[in-house]
C-alpha cells in the first residue's frame, strides 16, 4: 500500500480522499509510514488549489513526524528531526491550538485504530490545557492496538502500546483502567510462560512498574515474579531459534538473563515486596557475567565480563 503512494501523481480530489482513507488504516504510527504519504497527498491537494485541505493534511503529517524516542521536546512525543542549531522538525510552536483542535477532531472521527491512538495522544501531550477525553481515547485505542499487535506477533509495537496505555491511565489516576490493564498483563505473562517465549515479559514488567497505583493482587504478583524467574533461567540455557516466535527465543543469552533479574528486583521494590533482594540479584548478575566470560569470543571480552563479575562480588562483601 505504501509503495502505491511512493511516486508523485496527478490526483483528483476523490483520489486524495481514497489515499487518505488507506493511510488511516495503516498499522503503527511510525513517521516514515504515514508522514511521507500524507505530505504527498497534501501537495496534490495544494496543486489542485485546495489550500484548506492541503493544510489539514500537512498538520496530520506533522503529527506523524513526532515519535516517542528522542529529547527535542519536553513530554512524551519528540520531533523526528533535530538540527545543530537547536531547531527541530516539526517545531513545537507549529502545533497551535487550532491545529491541535483539528487533530483532536480527526482522532475522534477516524476508524484507524493506530491512527486515532497517535493523534489523540499527540493532542493530550502537546496541548497547554490538557483534555482528559483525549487521554482516555488514546488509552482505549492503544489497548486495541496492543491486542492487534499481540495477535500479529509484533512485539516492539505491542510493548510500546501497552506501556503507553498504562502510563496515560496512571497519569489520569484512573484506577479502574489500571486494574483492567494489569489483569490483562498478568494473563499475558501466563501465556508467554506457557509458550516459553519470554522476551516481551520485559515490556510487560515495565508496564506494571508504571501501574503501582493499581498493583495486581499478591498471588498475581507472585506469579509474575515466578515467570520472570523462569525467563532468567530460560535464557541461561541453549535453545534454537524458532520461526514466528514472539520475540527471540534462542539462547543462551546472558544479557536477557540479567535483564530479567534486574526487572524482577525493580518490580518487587515497586510492590514493596521483600522476597527479591538486591543481594540475591547482584549474585545472580555476577554469576551471569562469569558464564558469559566462559563463552567469550576473545580474551578482551572475557576480561571485561570477569571485571563486571568481580565488581558485583565486591559489592556483596
**Separation between Cα atoms, residue 26 and residue 11, nearest integer Å:** 20
Residue 254 lies in a domain: no
Distance of CA 150 to the CA centre of its chain: 13
Q: Are 203 and 224 in contact (CB under 8 A)?
A: no
In 3-state terms, what secondary structure has residue 11? Answer: coil
**Separation between Cα atoms, residue 191 and residue 272, nearest integer Å:** 25
Residue 294 lies in a domain: yes
Residue 302 lies in a domain: yes
Residue 11 lies in a domain: no
Which residue range is the domain that position 289 belongs to? 277-317
**Per-residue model confidence as pLDDT tens digits over 164-178:** 999 999 999 999 999
Which residue in the block uniquely carries the three cell numbers 507549529? Answer: 94
Range list of H helices, 110-236: 113-126, 132-152, 155-172, 175-195, 201-209, 218-234
239 DSSP β-pair partners? 251
Residue 236 lies in a domain: no
Nearest to 199 by CA among 247, 162, 164: 247
User: pLDDT value at position 1?
Assistant: 39
Residues of the chain with pLDDT under 50: 1-8
Q: Which residues contact 70 (CB under 8 A, 6 or more apart)?
A: 78, 79, 80, 82
Residue 13 lies in a domain: no
Residue 291 lies in a domain: yes
**Per-residue model confidence as pLDDT tens digits over 45-75:** 999 999 999 999 999 999 999 988 766 677 8
Residue 265 lies in a domain: no
Report the number of distinct structural domains present in the chain: 1
Burial class (CB in 10 A: 0-12, 13-18, 19+), 55: middle
Amino acid at each position: 500500500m505504501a509503495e502505491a503512494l511512493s511516486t508523485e501523481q496527478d490526483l483528483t480530489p476523490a483520489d486524495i480522499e481514497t489515499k487518505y482513507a488507506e493511510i488511516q488504516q495503516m498499522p503503527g504510527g511510525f513517521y516514515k509510514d504515514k508522514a511521507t504519504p500524507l505530505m504527498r497527498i497534501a501537495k496534490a491537494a495544494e496543486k489542485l488549489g485546495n489550500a484548506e485541505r492541503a493544510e489539514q493534511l500537512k498538520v496530520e503529517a506533522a503529527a506523524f513526524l513526532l515519535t516517542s524516542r528522542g529529547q527535542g521536546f519536553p513530554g512524551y512525543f519528540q520531533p523526528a528531526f533535530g538540527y545543530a542549531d537547536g531547531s527541530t522538525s516539526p517545531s513545537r510552536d507549529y502545533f497551535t491550538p487550532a491545529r491541535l483542535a483539528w487533530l483532536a477532531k480527526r482522532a475522534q472521527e477516524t476508524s484507524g485504530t493506530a491512527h486515532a491512538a497517535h493523534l489523540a495522544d499527540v493532542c493530550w501531550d502537546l496541548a497547554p490545557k490538557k483534555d482528559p477525553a483525549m487521554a482516555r481515547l488514546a488509552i482505549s485505542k492503544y489497548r486495541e492496538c496492543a491486542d492487534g499487535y499481540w495477535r500479529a506477533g509484533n512485539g516492539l509495537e505491542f510493548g510500546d502500546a501497552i506501556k503507553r496505555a498504562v502510563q496515560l491511565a496512571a497519569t489520569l489516576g484512573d484506577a479502574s483502567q489500571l486494574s483492567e490493564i494489569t489483569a490483562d498483563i498478568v494473563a499475558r505473562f501466563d501465556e508467554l510462560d506457557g509458550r516459553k517465549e519470554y522476551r516481551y515479559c520485559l515490556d510487560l514488567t515495565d508496564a506494571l512498574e508504571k501501574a503501582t497505583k493499581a498493583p495486581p493482587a499478591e498471588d498475581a504478583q507472585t506469579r509474575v515474579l515466578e515467570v520472570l524467574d523462569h525467563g532468567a533461567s530460560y535464557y541461561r540455557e541453549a535453545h534454537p531459534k524458532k520461526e514466528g516466535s514472539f520475540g527471540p527465543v534462542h539462547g543462551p543469552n546472558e544479557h536477557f538473563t540479567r535483564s530479567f533479574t534486574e526487572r524482577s528486583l525493580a518490580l518487587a521494590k515497586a510492590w514493596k515486596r521483600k522476597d527479591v533482594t538486591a543481594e540475591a540479584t547482584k549474585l545472580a548478575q555476577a554469576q551471569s557475567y562469569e558464564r558469559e566470560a566462559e563463552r567469550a569470543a576473545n580474551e578482551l571480552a572475557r576480561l571485561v565480563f570477569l571485571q563486571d563479575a568481580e565488581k558485583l562480588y565486591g559489592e556483596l562483601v
